[in-house]
Amino acid sequence: MGIWGYLIIVAGALAIGLIAQFIGKAPTMYDWLITAFFAGVAAWVASELLGSVSTWGPEVDGLFVLPALIGGVVVGALVDGGERLVITPTTQ
């Protein structure tokens, strides 16, 4: 995967994290960062490490977009939901 593939993953992960931060009431001000990190890792794994399962859909600079998008959104939602269950809210 090339530099554009990595930049797309970073931009998508940041978008997923920020969207999750503004849905409902996040327990802390930095939940978006944790969600974005795990969404980015999941997007990379879904695009690159799943073998023939992840080689479908449109490709941009070696990044398979649909598997990366699905992996990032699913893991991002799970991580954000887990954060909201585990972390006690702080005053913002």
Distance CA 37, CA 43 (A): 10
CA geometry: angle at 46 spanning 42 and 50, to 5°?
Answer: 130
- Mark out the alpha helices in 1-92 (DSSP H runs): 3-22, 31-48, 65-86
Per residue in 43-86, pLDDT tens? 999 988 876 777 788 889 888 999 999 999 999 999 999 988 88
Q: What is the pLDDT of residue 90?
A: 67
Whole-number pLDDT of residue 77: 94
Map residue 84 onto helix, strand or coil: helix
Q: Residue type for 66, please?
A: L
Q: What pTM did the predictor assign? A: 0.86
Query: Which residue's entry shows tokens 């887990």?
Result: 82
pLDDT score for 41 = 96
Contact 3, 34 (CB under 8 A): no
* Domains of the chain by residue range: 3-86
* Phi, psi of 64, rounded to the nearest 5 degrees: -85, 110
